[in-house]
């Protein structure tokens, strides 16, 4: 399989979409996922790797939507796919589609995520926190993981980078549906160290089910 050629075909097909909004572009990606259904997981990862610099989100979705591609990854492969994350959306695409689900499935060790949490790079620190979301999302197969979620959150309590603060709030809010008592204890215990945004949003979630009750839109409320 010529991974570079297929990646180029995907990119050209997306550039030809008259109105390049998310759903029309995603239809193109789904079409290629269908064509690649019988490819090996390793072949699909190779296509994704070749596409990464041009259509990062589509590269990640090719892996996630294939029956075996995600299962071929290990910590080195996951970190390779995360190279170049440098913005809110690139981090969240990586962590929600690749690293979080890989961690949930036991493909990467806790130590890898903790290493990201200790990184000098704000985007890898955010990736560590957003990766915990999959552990607690039913749509990802998560069944609640208080230990690993709070261990990762604890590492970044004092971080005041806005992107990290928002991710810490998200990580804790995702755990609320499974273990609200543990989340409340965590916030109370670390009252002095947590950023005001984290305390406000997580307590709103605990008390009302919403991140911001004034907006009233249940998970608008989603991540951050």
List the chain domain ranges.
Answer: 1-72, 86-224
> Going by C-beta distance under 8 Å and a sequence separation of 6 or more, which residues neighbour residue 51?
7, 10, 11, 58, 59, 62
| pLDDT number for residue 1 | 87
Prediction pTM value: 0.92
Instruction: Check: CB of residue 134 under 8 Å from CB of residue 101.
Output: yes
The tens-digit pLDDT sequence of the chain (224 residues) is 899 999 999 999 999 999 889 999 999 999 999 999 999 999 999 999 999 999 999 999 999 999 999 999 999 999 999 999 999 999 999 999 999 999 999 999 999 999 999 999 999 999 999 999 999 999 999 999 999 999 999 999 999 999 999 999 999 999 999 999 999 999 999 999 999 999 999 999 999 988 887 765 444 445 67
Residues 6+ apart with CB under 8 A from 38: none
Q: Are 111 and 148 in contact (CB under 8 A)?
A: no
Q: Which residue has the tokens 């996951």?
A: 78
Distance in angstroms (rounded) separating the CA atoms of residues 60 and 82? 10
Q: What pLDDT, on the 0 to 100 scale, is given for residue 216?
A: 54
Q: What is the pLDDT of residue 215?
A: 62
The domain made up of 86-224 is a member of CATH 1.25.10.90: yes
- State the pLDDT at residue 218: 45
Cα three-residue angle 89-21-102, rounded to 5 degrees:
40
């Amino acid at each position: 399989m010529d991974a570079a050629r297929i990646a180029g075909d995907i990119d050209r097909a997306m550039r030809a979409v008259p109105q390049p909004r998310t759903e029309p572009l995603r239809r193109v990606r789904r079409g290629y996922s269908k064509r690649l259904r019988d490819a090996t997981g390793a072949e699909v990862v190779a296509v994704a790797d070749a596409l990464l610099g041009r259509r990062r989100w589509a590269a990640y979705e090719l892996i996630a939507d294939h029956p075996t591609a995600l299962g071929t990854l290990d910590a080195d492969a996951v970190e390779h796919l995360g190279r170049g994350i440098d913005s809110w959306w690139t981090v969240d695409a990586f962590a929600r589609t690749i690293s979080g689900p890989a961690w949930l499935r036991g493909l990467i060790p806790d130590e890898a995520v903790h290493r990201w949490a200790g990184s000098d790079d704000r985007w890898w620190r955010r990736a560590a926190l957003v990766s915990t979301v999959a552990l607690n999302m039913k749509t990802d197969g998560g069944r609640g993981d208080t230990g690993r979620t709070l261990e990762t959150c604890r590492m970044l309590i004092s971080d005041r980078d806005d992107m990290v603060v928002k991710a810490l709030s998200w990580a804790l809010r995702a755990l609320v549906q499974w273990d609200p008592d543990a989340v409340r204890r965590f916030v109370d215990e670390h009252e002095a160290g947590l950023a005001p945004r984290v305390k406000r949003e997580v307590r709103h979630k605990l008390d009302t089910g919403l991140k911001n009750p004034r907006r009233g839109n249940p998970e608008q409320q989603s991540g951050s």
